[in-house]
């Protein structure tokens, strides 16, 4: 649901989306070549890309209801590109033993829950993100565009959706914020395709499991093949997330 649906807000959002696409492409495109040659890792690439995105959103100074410790949206189905998933994999592999174990255990529990579900059923089921710790995101700097895109102008419907995930109530959102995130996300998709890399959008738990359990996943992605062929919850390109 848009917070403001007036024609001017939609016009502004369309212009912001175009600018965001252009800026996102220039922030990401040149870095992908260095990643493919092994000079930098996906984590280094996405951190720079996300910094641009956060700066673009920050300029708007929109007053959202989102606050530290509010985690209702971290039980939603979340998606990410292979580049984002491999960046998170780097983070997981850098964790100390107990914390890495905790992520692996939560991931295993989540996979058991979501494997029999369709994407729509998953959307109607609260599943805690494996990176949610004490109601905070433990990978805040590395959270995917899908998480950065999500926000709410009012916490009441977020609370209602958490307690009844089948509710049709949706968090009211700013079209300008969505437009910038979508512009950057589309830029990511186009740039990955330009570099002949799989740019599909995968369900986060399943894709991360693939990245962590299959050592051939990253070289396969760099070789231009499908990063996570066993993941069934996948979209060919970004759509509203
Ligand atoms: S990555 Fe972080 S922000 Fe995104 S769902 Fe997980 S805990 Fe929440």
Rounded mean pLDDT for each run of 10 residues along the chain, 241 residues in total: 66 90 93 94 97 91 88 96 98 97 98 96 96 97 96 92 85 90 96 97 98 98 97 87 45
In DSSP notation, 69-85 reads T--GGGGS--EE-HHHH
User: Who lines ligand 1 at CB under 6 A?
Assistant: 74, 78, 129, 131-132, 137, 139, 143, 147
pLDDT at res. 13 = 87
pLDDT at res. 171 = 84
Overall size of the chain counted in residues: 241
pLDDT at res. 1 = 53
> How far, in Å, from the CA of 8 to the mean position of ligand 1?
32
Positive or negative CA dihedral for 211, 215, 220, 221? positive
The crossing angle, in degrees rounded to 10, of helices 175-194 and 7-36 is: 30
> How far, in Å, from the CA of 30 to the mean position of ligand 1?
27
**Ligand 1 atom closest to Cα of residue 147:** 4
pLDDT at res. 8 = 79
Pocket-testing residue among 70, 85, 147, ligand 1, by greatest number of atoms within 8 A of Cβ: 147
Pairwise CA distance, residues 24 & 83, whole Å: 15
pLDDT at res. 4 = 57
Pairwise CA distance, residues 124 & 144, whole Å: 21
> How far, in Å, from the CA of 69 to the mean position of ligand 1?
12
**Ligand 1 atom closest to Cα of residue 140:** 2
> How far, in Å, from the CA of 224 to the mean position of ligand 1?
28
Q: Residue of the nearest CA to atom 5 in ligand 1? A: 74
pLDDT at res. 159 = 93
């Amino acid at each position: 649901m848009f917070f403001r649906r007036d024609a001017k807000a939609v016009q502004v959002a369309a212009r912001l989306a175009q600018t965001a696409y252009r800026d996102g492409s220039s922030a990401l495109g040149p870095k992908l070549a260095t990643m493919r040659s092994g000079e930098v890792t996906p984590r280094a690439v996405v951190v720079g890309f996300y910094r641009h995105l956060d700066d673009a959103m920050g300029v708007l100074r929109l007053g959202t209801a989102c606050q530290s410790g509010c985690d209702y949206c971290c039980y939603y189905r979340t998606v990410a590109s292979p580049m984002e998933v491999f960046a998170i994999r780097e983070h997981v592999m850098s964790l100390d033993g107990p914390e890495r174990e905790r992520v692996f255990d939560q991931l295993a529990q989540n996979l058991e829950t979501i494997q029999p579900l369709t994407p729509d059923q998953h959307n109607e089921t609260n599943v805690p993100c494996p990176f949610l710790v004490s109601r905070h995101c433990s990978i805040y700097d590395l959270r995917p565009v899908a998480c950065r895109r999500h926000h709410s102008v009012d916490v009441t419907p977020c609370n209602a959706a958490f307690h009844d995930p089948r509710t049709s109530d949706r968090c009211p959102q700013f079209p300008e914020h969505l437009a910038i995130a979508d512009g950057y996300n589309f830029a990511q998709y186009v740039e990955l395709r330009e570099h002949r890399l799989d740019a599909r959008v995968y369900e986060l738990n399943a894709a991360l499991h693939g990245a962590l359990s299959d050592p051939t996943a990253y070289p396969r992605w760099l070789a231009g093949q499908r990063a996570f062929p066993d993941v069934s919850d996948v979209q060919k390109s970004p759509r509203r997330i």
